[in-house]
Amino acid sequence: MEDFNLNNQNMLINVLHNWNGLTLEQLFRERWKAPKKLVHEWRMSKEVKLNGHPVTWSTILQQGDMLSIPIMDTAENAAVQATNLEIPILYEDDWLLVANKPAGMDTHPSQPGDSHSLINGVAYHLQQTGQICMIKHIHRLDQDTTGAVLFAKNRLVGSMLDRMLEEREIKRTYLALVEGILHTREGEIKEKIGRDRHHATRRRVSPTGQTAVTHYRVLNRDQKRNLTLISCTLESGRTHQIRVHFSHLHHPLAGDTLYGGKRIFKRQALHARKIEFIHPISEENMIIEAPFMDKPEIFDANL
């Protein structure tokens, strides 16, 4: 992604072949589907430039042109306290990054004053690398789930990734160890999920809940320990979805005591292994894998 860089708080973008013939207006509104408020700000500021010069929004783009977009959102990161948590960064460019979340850590602060969440660690990384930009998580993982979490570095890409997630254009693949032996090679769980009235943090399968679909595939069966290693993808992103669905099938995740699993491990055996999406700006196919971090290992011996 060497074509993208910051210059005086403006983002420089080489116009792609795929954008040939589009007007500046069409790029923002139709292809990027940028927020109307943001487009209005940029139009009024007259700071959007092509090849270093202000242009009208009817200007037609050609491959090789250099587009300059103002960032204008650096203040939004001021509320995120930077904390050195040694967060592994799996991928990064000027627009977004993917971090590998450890177990026992929230994705974002759960209460005022909390400064030991993943986003605090990512903010520290940005600070140490001299990056003055906002940071926004696009999705979350449970406190004791490890793996890949996607972040945006500005409002434009934040809104684009939010839409992509909503329209299921971001694919996340999870690995889980469930109790018992699953005999079917693959399957689909379509059970609605709602809150559990009797437990503040737990969810349950409920006919009045939100639609939730989990696809799974068996990777390995550990007969000796009576565990099955599975790969999962979601059509929805409900709280605790994988945990609730497999508990409902009487195959709770190993270590997931909240949903009936035995304390085989110190946490539920769930890892966000891979994230795949088309980069919203470069339009490259992104496939980013998250290594395991557990010590002692939970998954490695089973792969």
Task: List the catalytic residues.
Answer: 142
Where do the DSSP E strands lie in the chain?
Answer: 5-7, 10-14, 49-50, 53-54, 66-70, 89-92, 96-101, 136-137, 146-152, 171-179, 186-190, 193-195, 203-205, 213-222, 227-234, 270-278, 285-289
Report residue 193 CA to chain centroid gap: 21
DSSP-derived 3-state class of residue 125: helix
DSSP 45: H
C-alpha distance from residue 294 to each of 99, 144, 149, 189, 258 (Å): 16, 11, 17, 28, 20
- Peptide bond just before 296 cis, omega within 30 deg: yes
The Cα 78–Cα 67 span in angstroms is: 27
Q: 């940029």: which residue's tokens?
A: 42
Residue type for position 169: E
Q: 């949903």: which residue's tokens?
A: 259
Closest CA to 28 of 134, 136, 159: 159
Q: 């627009």: which residue's tokens?
A: 95
Structure tokens, 245: 């669905």
The Cα 84–Cα 228 span in angstroms is: 36
Structure tokens, 133: 């930009």
